[in-house]
Chains A and B, each alone.
Chain A
Amino acid sequence: EAGVTQFPSHSVIEKGQTVTLRCDPISGHDNLYWYRRVMGKEIKFLLHFVKESKQDESGMPNNRFLAERTGGTYSTLKVQPAELEDSGVYFCASSHSHEQFFGPGTRLTVL
């Protein structure tokens, strides 16, 4: 069974540009989560989808971040426009119940 996949693995962009991160969850997992780890800090929750609906987006930093999960399968996280403080590793996880399975993360660097 394929695990959670994320694309790209690395992204380097300039301040003000737009970046879109993609997450493909484990097939059949209704729950999809986004987390972020800024350098030197703990991993922080961003938001939680149940199928295509946003269940909890309390961790989204500001309105420059937009997450979607059309059709309840893969999800995208768009940052527009990117700022320096958005640099970090973005993790996606999916679950059927309480155990979350994590992807390898996307390392985003904003210059």
Chain B
Amino acid sequence: AQSVTQLGSHVSVSEGALVLLRCNYSSSVPPYLFWYVQYPNQGLQLLLKYTTGATLVKGINGFEAEFKKSETSFHLTKPSAHMSDAAEYFCAVGNPPDDYKLSFGAGTTVTVRA
């Protein structure tokens, strides 16, 4: 069984400030971890993923996340927020190849203040 907890359903940041979205997971086997973003009226888009290897992963639009096994965390960061980062962000965990289905967190909506 696996589950995902995202701390904070809403985050507001100033343009140019650090974006930090928290994600903790539980998984009985080594997980694959994902961050997806959903812009208004669009589908889910993959930001980045961790499968194996380097624990710091870089994604699109300047985002990165670090897998910390000891903390069962996969927090998402971006050093400097842009107005276009306003969206809803989802953390997800999967366990391929035996279990391909994803378990999602509840999502975090990010607003960016000018």
Interface residue ranges, A against B (CB under 8 Å): 3-4, 31, 33, 35, 41-45, 48, 55-56, 59, 91, 93, 95, 97-105
- Distance A95 CA – B42 CA, assembled complex (angstroms): 19
- Knowing A4-B43, A91-B44, A105-B43, the reply to whether A98 touches B32 (Cβ < 8 A) is yes
- What residues of B have a CB within 8 angstroms of the CB of A101 in the complex? 46
* Contact flags B88-109 to A (C-beta < 8 A → 1, else 0): 0010101011011111111100
- Distance A98 CA – B103 CA, assembled complex (angstroms): 13
- Give the bracket for the number of chain B residues in contact with chain A: 20 to 34
- Distance A4 CA – B100 CA, assembled complex (angstroms): 18
- Distance A3 CA – B43 CA, assembled complex (angstroms): 10
Across the interface, do A98 and B51 meet the contact criterion of CB distance under 8 Å?
yes
Least Cβ–Cβ distance between A49 and chain B, in angstroms: 11
- What residues of B have a CB within 8 angstroms of the CB of A31 in the complex? 100
The answer, yes or no, to whether B82 is at the interface (CB within 8 Å) is: no
**Chain B binding surface SS class:** strand
Across the interface, do B43 and A91 meet the contact criterion of CB distance under 8 Å?
yes
Interface residue ranges, B against A (CB under 8 Å): 4, 32, 36, 41-46, 49, 51, 90, 92, 94, 96-97, 99-107
Across the interface, do B43 and A98 meet the contact criterion of CB distance under 8 Å?
no
A91, A99, A103: the one contacting B46 at CB < 8 Å is A99
Least Cβ–Cβ distance between A56 and chain B, in angstroms: 6
- Distance A59 CA – B56 CA, assembled complex (angstroms): 32
Across the interface, do B100 and A103 meet the contact criterion of CB distance under 8 Å?
no
29 A/B residue pairs, CB under 8 Å, sorted by A: A4-B43, A31-B100, A33-B100, A33-B101, A41-B106, A42-B4, A42-B104, A43-B90, A43-B107, A45-B103, A48-B100, A48-B101, A56-B99, A56-B101, A93-B44, A97-B96, A98-B32, A98-B49, A98-B94, A98-B96, A98-B97, A98-B100, A99-B49, A100-B46, A100-B100, A101-B46, A102-B43, A102-B45, A104-B41
- What residues of B have a CB within 8 angstroms of the CB of A103 in the complex? 43
